[in-house]
Amino acid sequence: MKRTVFVVGLGLIGGSIALAIRKEHDVHIRGYDISGEQLKVALSLKVIDEATPSLREGVDGADLIIFATPVLKTEQLVQEIAQFPLKAGAIVTDVGSTKERIVNKAKHLQQKQVTFIGGHPMAGSHKSGVEAARPHLFENAFYILTSAEGTDVRAVIQLQNWLKGTKATFIELTASQHDRLAGAISHFPHVIAASLVHQIAKIEGEDPLVSRLAAGGFRDITRIASSNPTMWRDILLHNKDSLLQLLEGWSREMECVKAMIEEESGDAIFTYFQEAKDFRDGLPVRKKGAIPSFYDLFVDVPDHPGVISDVTGILAQNQISLTNIRILETREDIMGVLRLSFRSEEDRERAQIHLHQEMYDTYIL
């Protein structure tokens, strides 16, 4: 008899996990989503085998229950399923970007003879929705697992076996350790990006030219400010303590920078940027981290009709998929610049090789 997996929330992450599980296991996958349209798409794409009309019917007899919902919603749903009959020995997990509150809320599930293990796959995409789901989304990404104290190690191993089709790198952390680290390398940078955008928006009221000037590099370095506002509202409220500490540290850091500028300390400013450069340059490359990597390739193109279709044609001929293409600069009689975005480092490298063979100058920033 096939084992049953129940996925709650059929977006990019939930759908991709379902596909990764199906790739390695002979299972029956149920799905539940507040969007009837997403359920229909998930069925048509064979992401799930069955759409359940309610949470109660979905958890009934399920061996693995996955909550791929916003963190505040997950917190509510974890409490809700405690009211329903659950299969003894089942594993319950989630994919949220914060862990401590959810792990604490889920402790009562132990009374139901099921195990909750928090999860956070650190991967994403420019796209959203179950139609963008791919089993390889998490390949080489970090997949954090957080369990409550006293959790049977066999349950953790079992969950990793369930998820082995993701081809992710599993790391076990405590829930508080996860929230502190994720706050520093993911949550806090999103706050900074949003605040930079707000600052430019205020300047625009005084000088509208700023928007035109910000259309290039500034827009690129603040990409993450375009993330889902609902998701980030929930994350900030869930990870309140870590973020307040980080904001206090950031204020002190900015005071130091302010002092160096006021004192016109050239040596100190140079050292500040040199140390930042050295640390940043020493970070691992070709790795997926808490913030999805952007595999961009910049291509110089001449001002000539058909040049964009030529570039995309070269890629299509070599079966290299683009996730995005953007014209950064194109003016009469000068070279233009295309920014091509790819799914992976490998796709970008292949694109660079084939475009060079066709005499296009390319570079990576």
Same-domain check for residues 77 and 193: no
Structural domain for 168, as ranges: 3-173
Angle between helices 229-238 and 188-204 (to 10 degrees): 130
Residue with tokens 């204020």: 251
Q: Are 95 and 118 in contact (CB under 8 A)?
A: no
Nearest CA-CA partner of 8 in 66, 81, 91, 59: 66
Q: Give the domain CATH number at 299.
A: 3.30.2130.10
Cα angle 315-316-320, degrees, rounded to a multiple of 5 = 60
Q: Give the domain CATH number at 155.
A: 3.40.50.720
Same-domain check for residues 130 and 159: yes
Helix (H) or strand (E) holding 297: strand 295-301
Same-domain check for residues 253 and 271: yes
**What is the CB-side half-sphere exposure of residue 318 using CA atoms within 13 A?**
19
Rg (CA), the chain: 23
Same-domain check for residues 71 and 159: yes
pTM of the model: 0.75
Same-domain check for residues 108 and 14: yes
Q: Give the domain CATH number at 240.
A: 1.10.3660.10
If you average pLDDT over every residue of the chain, what do you get? 88
Same-domain check for residues 136 and 42: yes
Mean pLDDT of the region 127-142: 84
Helix (H) or strand (E) holding 313: helix 307-317
Same-domain check for residues 155 and 182: no
Residue 288: inside a domain, yes or no? no
When divided into structural domains, the chain yields a total of 3
Same-domain check for residues 327 and 357: yes
Residue 287: inside a domain, yes or no? no
Out of 150-154, 261-265, 317-321, the most confident range is: 261-265
Nearest CA-CA partner of 86 in 108, 56, 107: 56
Task: State percent of the chain over pLDDT 70.
Answer: 93
Helix segments in 71-122, DSSP class H: 71-80, 100-105
Same-domain check for residues 76 and 147: yes
